[in-house]
Amino acid sequence: MAVRTDASGLRLGKYSLGVGDRFAQQARAQLRACIEAAAAGIEIIPVWNKSNREHNIVGSEPAGVREAAEAAVRELGWKFPFHVDADHIGLQTVDQFLESSDFFTLDVADAIGRAAEPAEVEAFAARHPELCGTIELEGIAEPLTLTREDAMCAAEKYLGAVREAGRIYRHIAERKGTGTFITEVSMDESDAPQTPPELLVILAAISDEGIPAQTIAPKFSGRFNKGVDYVGAPEQFEREFRADVAVIAHAVARFGLPDNLKLSVHTGSDKFSIYPAIRRVLEESGAGVHLKTAGTTWLEELIGLAEAGGEALDLAKEVYRGAYERRSELCGPYAAVIDIDAARLPSPGAVAGWSSEQFAAALRHDPACPDFNPHFRQLLHVGYKIAAEMGSRYLEMLRAAEEPVSRNVTYNLYQRHIRPLFPRTLH
């Protein structure tokens, strides 16, 4: 069974940016970054994403994400599409997102390796003889080579996860209607990366399952720690990313998947050292990409508060003190994606004496700045629960410091993310 998406269905544009907004206060500042991009000839579709985990920690509801996005779009007169992403959902968590989201990230990482029936794996291999042998892909010099054993092995590992994605997809489609939402399949929060040949097998299975995926988020090689740069060899990432793009183009043609299917890179914020690689591949292949970078905005809020000085700076320091004291609790849910050396965290007492500039310089993600402290930044990245617990006190301070906060949010998204990563689109 090959999938063909209905041409009238909701389609995600070629370049899209997943922006998170923990406290639903920065939608306008984020949209301004897309407006600046559009003025510079780069058409970016904003997607406001928020995971169930974030909603639980903040104590917010999915409807609030849409309200904030719609208000920003209305106020700033945004003429292009925008979407609201139920990020990293599963069958247990999707229902509360059904009404407000039109983009669903089906997280099936936990189902990877769930034993598939041997008969199922046999049937898959029999249905897909084209997966075995040497597969020439446009855009990469080395062909993929898969033996029947490789294909069976990958099928065994991933069929259960793709089946799970199918169950979630159908659950949503039965309630919202086919073609009314964008589907992403995500496997990024798993232990081992998926290789390009495995991605090909996964896409064949996604087609068999009838999932009209428009984006797919594999786990790439290297570490994607929260809030800080990529840890790994950018050249190796580039080879893998280029091969994945070629695999997707092949799979679209071969398996009839949606023709706008593209990679989704869940960055965990700020993977600056691989942006040039991504951009090169996009330029040479003409492929699109979806970039998710959620937590970066919350850290810009803190930088803006620090810059505002006075009580706002005190509040930013108070957030750090709380995060420092409760670091084991806050780091727990993110253990696999942070790498904090406690010995390199400044004491809250020391931070209490910092100026606006010192706080901002330690936090701002400028790897060339000698005062930048990635440990401080990672801890604050996962420390948003402290701000959430401050409730209206935090939100009121954000509003009082709106100018520096929104200036930092817009600048960060446009200058550090959009400009280095996305090629110009022709109008």
Binding site for Zn ion (CB under 5 A): 188, 266
Closest approach of Zn ion to the CB of residue 141, in Å: 30
Residue with Cβ nearer Zn ion (294 or 305): 294
In the bound state, the residue with its beta carbon closest to Zn ion is 266
How far apart are CB 224 and Zn ion at their closest, in Å? 8
Residue 12 to residue 105: CA distance in whole angstroms? 13
Nearer to Zn ion, 18 or 404 (CB): 18
Q: Looking at beta carbons only, is 100 or 186 nearer to Zn ion?
A: 186
Q: Where are the alpha helices (DSSP H) in 309-347?
A: 310-325, 327-331
As measured in angstroms, the least distance from the Cβ of 223 to Zn ion is 14
Of 266 and 377, the one with the shorter C-beta distance to Zn ion is 266
Q: What is the distance between the alpha carbons of residues 311 and 296, in angstroms, rounded to a whole number?
A: 23
Q: How far is the CB of 392 from Zn ion (least distance, A)?
A: 30
CB of 381 to Zn ion, least distance (A): 14
Q: Are the CB atoms for 36 and 78 separated by under 8 Å?
A: no
Identity of the residue, 109 or 245, whose beta carbon is nearer to Zn ion in the bound complex? 109
Q: Which is nearer to Zn ion, 128 or 266 (CB)?
A: 266
CB atoms within 10 A of CB 261: 24
Closer CB to Zn ion, 22 or 317, in the complex: 22
Nearer to Zn ion, 266 or 364 (CB): 266
Beta-strand runs (E) in 132-252? 133-135, 144-146, 182-186, 213-217
Distance (Å) of CA 230 to CA 237, 254, 295, 309, 395? 10, 33, 15, 31, 31
The residue among 266 and 375 lying less far from Zn ion, judged by its C-beta, is 266
Which one-letter DSSP state was computed for residue 334?
G
Nearest distance in Å: CB 122, Zn ion: 32
Taking the complex as a whole, the smallest distance from the CB of residue 134 to Zn ion amounts, in Å, to 33
In the complex, the smallest distance separating the C-beta of residue 353 from Zn ion, rounded to whole angstroms, is: 37
- Rounded to a whole number of angstroms, the CA Rg of the chain reads 22
- The residue length of the chain stands at 427
User: b/e string for 40-57 if b means 16 or more Cβ within 10 A?
Assistant: eebbbbbbbbbbbebbeb
Token representation of residue 31: 């949209």
- Which string of DSSP letters, residue by residue, matches 108-142? -GGGTTPPPPHHHHHHHHHH-GGGSEEE--TT-SS
Residue type for position 225: N
In the complex, minimum distance from the CB of residue 189 to Zn ion, in angstroms, rounded to a whole number: 5
Contact (CB, 8 A) for 45 and 80: yes
CA distance 23 to 58: 8
Give dist(CA 22, CA 222) in Å, integer: 26
